[in-house]
Structure 1
Amino acid sequence: MSSWSQALTVSSASAWDEVFTGLHGASRIRVPDRRAPWTGHLEWQRSKTYSLALCSGGEEVVDRDNRHIRTDPRGTHELLVPLAGSAWLEQGAASGEIGPGAMALCDIDRPLTFAHDAGLRSISLIVSGRHLSARSAVAARGPHLLDGARGLGRIVREVTTTLHEEREHLSEISFDLACDRLLDLVCLAAEGGTDSAPTGQRAGVEAAIRRHVREHACDRELDVAGIARALGWSVRYVQQVLQAAGTTARDLIRRERLNVARGRLASGSWTTYSIAEIAHASGFGSHASFATAFRAEFGTTPREVRRGARELSGADAGPAAQS
Structure 2
Amino acid sequence: MPSLAPCAVNRIATDAFPASQRLDQWEAYNASFLVGLRCSSFSDEGLKARQSNMAVGQLALADIDGNAHVIERTPQLVRQHPKESVFVSLVLSSGAFFYQEHSCLHLVPGDLVIYDTRHAYLFGFTHQMHQFLVDTPADWFYRDCSRAQLPGPIRIAGEAGSGRVLNHAFKNLVGDAMARPEGVDQDRMQFEACDLLRAMMAGEAAGSSALRASHLLAARAHIDEHLHRHSMDAHEVATAAGVSLRHLNRLLQAEGRSVTQLILERRLERAAMELRQAALNRYSIAEIAYRCGFASQAHFARTFRSQHGMTPTQMREQPGRHRASI
TM-score higher than 0.5: yes
CA distance in 2, matches of 1:2, 1:173: 7
| 2:158 counterpart residue number | 148
| 1:63 counterpart residue number | 72
Check whether the contact 1:174–1:266 (CA below 8 A) recurs between aligned residues.
Answer: no
Among 312, 315, 318, which residue is 1:290 paired with?
315
Deviates more, 1:280-289 or 1:74-83: 280-289
SS at match of 1:181: helix
| 1:184 counterpart residue number | 195
Q: Does 1:162 align with 2:172?
A: yes
| TM-superposed deviation, 1:146 | 0.8
Among 75, 87, 93, which residue is 1:78 paired with?
87
CA distance in 1, matches of 2:182, 2:259: 28
SS at match of 2:50: strand
Provide structure 1 residue ranges, at least 5 long, that are not aligned to the other structure: 198-203, 219-255, 314-323
| 1:260 counterpart residue number | 270
Q: Does 1:53 align with 2:101?
A: no
| TM-superposed deviation, 1:66 | 2.4
Structure 2 CA distance for partners of 1:83 and 1:49, relative to 1, 3 Å: same
| TM-superposed deviation, 1:162 | 1.9
CA distance in 1, matches of 2:105, 2:147: 22
The aligned amino acid for 1:107 is D
TM-score normalised to the size of structure 1? 0.66
TM-score normalised to the size of structure 2? 0.65
Measured on the aligned residues, the alpha-carbon RMSD in Å equals 3.5
Check whether the contact 1:146–1:194 (CA below 8 A) recurs between aligned residues.
Answer: no
| 1:43 counterpart residue number | 52
Among 97, 103, 112, which residue is 1:94 paired with?
103
Q: Does 1:6 align with 2:10?
A: yes
SS at match of 2:256: helix
| TM-superposed deviation, 1:16 | 1.8
CA distance in 2, matches of 1:118, 1:20: 21
Deviations 1:167-204 (A, max 9, x none): 2546676144123222222222223236999xxxxxx9
Structure 2 CA distance for partners of 1:272 and 1:27, relative to 1, 3 Å: closer
Tell me how many residue pairs correspond in the alignment. 254
Among 192, 207, 210, which residue is 2:255 paired with?
207
CA distance in 2, matches of 1:32, 1:164: 30
Among 97, 102, 114, which residue is 2:123 paired with?
114
Structure 2 CA distance for partners of 1:52 and 1:191, relative to 1, 3 Å: same
Structure 2 CA distance for partners of 1:113 and 1:5, relative to 1, 3 Å: same
Among 17, 38, 56, which residue is 2:27 paired with?
17
CA distance in 2, matches of 1:273, 1:17: 47
Provide structure 2 residue ranges, at least 5 long, that are not aligned to the other structure: 16-21, 209-251, 290-296
SS at match of 1:137: coil
Deviations 1:2-52 (A, max 9, x none): 44223332222332222233343222322226x734321112221231111
SS at match of 1:166: helix
The aligned amino acid for 1:178 is M
SS at match of 2:142: helix
RCO higher in structure (CA 8 A, sep ≥6): 2
| 1:235 counterpart residue number | none
The aligned amino acid for 2:200 is A
CA distance in 2, matches of 1:74, 1:196: 30
Structure 2 CA distance for partners of 1:48 and 1:22, relative to 1, 3 Å: same
Check whether the contact 2:56–2:190 (CA below 8 A) recurs between aligned residues.
Answer: no
The aligned amino acid for 2:256 is A
Structure 2 CA distance for partners of 1:288 and 1:164, relative to 1, 3 Å: closer
Check whether the contact 2:9–2:181 (CA below 8 A) recurs between aligned residues.
Answer: no
